[in-house]
Amino acid sequence: MIHTIDLNFQGHPGTIAAFLIETAVGPVLVESGPATTLESLEIGVQQAGFVLTDIQHVFLTHIHFDHAGAAWRFAEHGATIHVHPFGQSHLADPEVLWKSAKRVFGDATEQLWGEMRCISPAQIHACDHEEEIQVGQTLFTAWHTPGHAKHHIAWQCGEDALFAGDAAGVSLSGGPVQPPCPPPDINLEAWMDSIDRLQACSAETLYLTHFGAVSEKESHLAALRECLDDWHHWVAERFDESAPADLVAPFAEHVADQLRQAGLSSKALANYEVANPTQMSVYGLARYLNQRRTA
């Protein structure tokens, strides 16, 4: 059984999820969320009939704070943290990760994400592509899916469930799918390849950290490709004439227009901005374009 736990990030429901999977040997967690949502996570785990110390396996899709910031809490009581090899060192010593976040979020970093403590390397399991991990009778398969981040894994659980992190985008309350494109390592070619990998995966139900289950995998991923292409071209067409900071406001309006055309309310637009800040996508896509030009 899969429980979707709403972490109620910054008082915004339906923006960040964690997933509790019941197995024959106890519950497993996919995504920890940030440390600031530990209380909501604990409540959700208790509502499913467990306590935090029951969780001995945490599967992370990647190491961004909204997905992995509280993983240390589970390592403290002996859990194994499963992560991409490129994320392993950052969980053992999050100083570089924290400094990177400070450059983006400034003084709001701790308020948004809370602390991120070091995890003993002995409790971090770096997972190869297509590696299988058996927990009781439940099989988890790691699909390396870079593009949003080079340290991204989509986790297949059993036959049907695919915990896709950000590789399958952001879709709130059944709204349109968006590609979260924050710096530093957005790579569109890699992301398109990862979408192919998600499409080819036998699991048909996507579980999005932002937010929840999506059953129409094919149409969802097709819409993600289309939006990723649109956002890339929007920034690329203006990149030579404008600094990234000058593109933030017009890009935010472009995105808001897309959401309004889909019939979303002002409140829904605000939730999308919380889950997927448009400023981050401008800076991420601008960095990607700069790197392509330099190469």
- Say how far apart CA 264 and CA 278 lie, in whole Å: 16
- Say how far apart CA 172 and CA 13 lie, in whole Å: 10
- Say how far apart CA 188 and CA 15 lie, in whole Å: 24
2-224 domain in CATH 3.40.718.10?
A: no
The pLDDT of residue 252: 97
Is the four-CA dihedral 77, 80, 81, 86 of positive or negative sign? Answer: positive
Question: In this predicted model, what pLDDT tens digit does every residue of 253-280 receive, in sequence order?
Answer: 999 999 999 999 999 999 999 999 999 9
Q: Who's near 197: CB < 8 A, 6+ residues apart?
A: 143, 145, 154
Is residue 281 classed as helix, strand or coil in its secondary structure?
Answer: helix
**Per-residue confidence at 241, pLDDT binned at 50, 70, 90?**
confident
Is residue 164 classed as helix, strand or coil in its secondary structure?
Answer: strand
Of the candidate ranges 36-40, 103-107, 219-223, 236-240, the one whose mean pLDDT is the lowest: 103-107
**Per-residue confidence at 103, pLDDT binned at 50, 70, 90?**
confident
Q: Assess contact for 166 and 84: CB atoms under 8 A.
A: no
Question: In this predicted model, what pLDDT tens digit does every residue of 136-181 receive, in sequence order?
Answer: 999 999 999 999 999 999 999 999 999 999 999 999 999 999 999 9
Give me the helices (H) in 183-243, please: 188-200, 217-238
Peptide bond preceding 34 in cis form (omega within 30 of 0): no
The pLDDT of residue 177: 98
Encoded tokens for 51? 């306590």
What does pLDDT average to over the chain?
A: 96
Name the nearest CA neighbour of 153 among 100, 205, 81, 218: 81
- Say how far apart CA 1 and CA 200 lie, in whole Å: 24
> What pTM value is reported for the model?
0.96
Angle at Cα 194 formed by Cα 216 and Cα 205, nearest 5°? Answer: 25
**Per-residue confidence at 216, pLDDT binned at 50, 70, 90?**
very high
**Per-residue confidence at 45, pLDDT binned at 50, 70, 90?**
very high
The pLDDT of residue 104: 79
Distances in Å between the Cα of 21 and the Cα atoms of 66, 163, 185, 187 are 19, 11, 30, 31
Of the candidate ranges 27-41, 207-221, 281-295, the one whose mean pLDDT is the lowest: 281-295
Residue the block writes with tokens 């003993």: 120
Is the four-CA dihedral 230, 231, 232, 236 of positive or negative sign? Answer: positive
**Per-residue confidence at 242, pLDDT binned at 50, 70, 90?**
confident
The pLDDT of residue 106: 86
Is the four-CA dihedral 207, 128, 118, 106 of positive or negative sign? Answer: negative
Exposure b/e, 196-215, CB count within 10 A at least 16 = b? ebbeebebebbbbbbbbebe
Name the nearest CA neighbour of 69 among 56, 79, 78, 60: 60
Q: Assess contact for 213 and 205: CB atoms under 8 A.
A: yes
What residue type is assigned to position 185 of the chain? D
Whether the pLDDT of residue 225 is over 90: the answer is yes
**Per-residue confidence at 105, pLDDT binned at 50, 70, 90?**
confident
